[in-house]
Amino acid sequence: MDLETGTYEPGFVGIRFCQECNNMLYPKEDKENRILLYACRNCDYQQEADNSCIYVNKITHEVDELTQIIADVSQDPTLPRTEDHPCPK
């Protein structure tokens, strides 16, 4: 948690490795106990996750309104037209 702004931003989740065979650990749900585990696919090693976050998606760009406007929309023949309300511009 950022103390100045009071917001929580998860950082890098990281990659975990098996302590027995050094292969990568994958997230796995223990449905009976309702906990998150990291399990090795090559041996029977499992460890309980210390954090429930397994993926962080950070969006670094801001959406600009002008990028969403299609330039040819006024010429699109499939859009409805009306003559009842003239454009004020």
Tens of pLDDT along 34-83?
Answer: 999 999 999 999 999 988 888 888 877 666 666 666 777 778 888 888 88
Which residue spans within the chain are E strands per DSSP?
25-30, 35-40, 46-48
Residue 14 has pLDDT above 50, yes or no: yes
pLDDT of residue 10: 59
> Could you give the CA distance from residue 19 to residue 43 in angstroms, rounded to a whole number?
10
> Could you give the CA distance from residue 17 to residue 23 in angstroms, rounded to a whole number?
5
pLDDT of residue 53: 85
Three-state secondary structure call for residue 35: strand
User: Contact 24/31 with Cβ under 8 angstroms?
Assistant: no
> Could you give the CA distance from residue 18 to residue 41 in angstroms, rounded to a whole number?
9
Tokens of 50: 């210390």
Tokens of 4: 């100045």
pLDDT of residue 66: 61
